[in-house]
Amino acid sequence: MSNILVTGANGQLGSEINALSGFYPHYTFTFANRNTLDLSNLCKLEDYFDTNTFDVIINCAAYTAVDKAESEEELANAINHRAVSLLAKISKKKNISLIHVSTDYVFDGKNFSPYIETDPTDPQGVYGRTKRDGENAILDVAPKNTLIIRTSWVYSSFGANFVKTMLRLGKERNSLGIIFDQVGTPTYARDLAKAILDILPQINTAIPKIYHYSNEGCASWYDFAKAIFELSNIQCTLNPITTDQYPTPATRPHYSLLNKAKIKEEFGITIPYWRDSLKECLKELGEEQ
């Protein structure tokens, strides 16, 4: 039986893994949130693994406030980079398998075809840069049985996210302006959680490997919002706007489609279409019509 530590337990992905954990009775799960395991405190992080034994770490913890990161670079770096580097060293020292979740923000968003794992990274902001540095730290330490999984546009029935924001605003307002010139793929955190748990028994690698996972298909934020309103029967007019009409402190990738061929071929997983998964999430939220 494998003892699995899930960090970032109160986040979207950590919460979804928790919700699915009962379907994997051969695993023993420990769910750690920032109160029980503060990744920004490196001394306590190391002590934690001196008093607890695990076979696998699924690192869902991250500093994800993309705009706020521009003014809180030190904290973002502590969680997304330095803590990840220490987790990699602990994994190597104690022979613990590691799955680390990363992001499409490591790319510059200027591609014209879906990014593959070996494409050059060029993050455009603090969040993406600290996540890229976390990836590189893992690659430098090189613990065995380690996977880095990049994902994009994550939403869930848990936590705060675009779907919940649109549901709220759609009921409060008559019209909304939504960006249409940023293209990617919405990812239902439950699908990613299931993929991670299904992949676990197959991990056998001498060096860290990078994979991409998002739902299938593509959409702009406008398309995503339109689907949310259609499936939940919300009568709110959506107006497409450009990125420069909605300025933010951090630069968002204009194009962040991820090629998932590698993870599908190597682990034999099937990935649902984004709109089908959105329906499932809306059912969980009691909003699907």
Cβ atoms of residues 59 and 7 within 8 Å? yes
Catalytic residue among 63, 127, 188, 222: 127
Q: Tell me the chain's radius of gyration from C-alpha atoms.
A: 19
Query: Using H for helix, E for strand and C for coil, what is the string for 36-101?
Result: CCCCCCHHHHHHHHHHCCCCEEEECCCCCCCCHHHCCHHHHHHHHHHHHHHHHHHHHHHCCEEEEE
Reply yes or no on whether the pLDDT at 112 is more than 60.
yes
Residue 249 lies in a domain: no
Binned at pLDDT 50, 70 and 90, residue 108 comes out as: very high
Q: What is the CATH number of the domain that holds 135?
A: 3.40.50.720
∠ CA 64-224-131, rounded to 5°: 20
Residue 275 lies in a domain: no
Binned at pLDDT 50, 70 and 90, residue 1 comes out as: low
Helices (H), 95-246: 126-141, 162-172, 189-199, 221-232
Residue 221 lies in a domain: no
Condensed to tens digits (0 to 9), the pLDDT of residues 207-234 reads 999 999 999 999 999 999 999 999 999 9
Residue 80 lies in a domain: yes
Binned at pLDDT 50, 70 and 90, residue 287 comes out as: confident
Domain that holds residue 108: 2-160+186-215
Condensed to tens digits (0 to 9), the pLDDT of residues 26-84 reads 999 999 999 999 888 888 898 999 999 999 999 999 999 999 999 999 999 999 999 99
Binned at pLDDT 50, 70 and 90, residue 175 comes out as: very high
Residue 228 lies in a domain: no
Of 36, 14, 27, 35, which is closest to residue 54 (Cα–Cα)? 27
Residue 30 lies in a domain: yes
Q: Is 127 a catalytic residue?
A: yes
Condensed to tens digits (0 to 9), the pLDDT of residues 176-213 reads 999 999 999 999 999 999 999 999 999 999 999 999 99
Residue 204 lies in a domain: yes
pLDDT of residue 138: 98
Structural domains counted in the chain: 1
pLDDT of residue 289: 63
Cβ atoms of residues 2 and 25 within 8 Å? no
Residue 270 lies in a domain: no
| d(C-alpha 138, C-alpha 160), whole Å | 28
pLDDT of residue 41: 87
| Type of residue at 173 | R
How confident is the model over 227-245, as a mean pLDDT?
Answer: 96
The pair of three-digit structure tokens given for residue 241, joined into one six-digit string: 């706007």
Mean pLDDT of the chain: 96
How confident is the model over 135-158, as a mean pLDDT?
Answer: 97
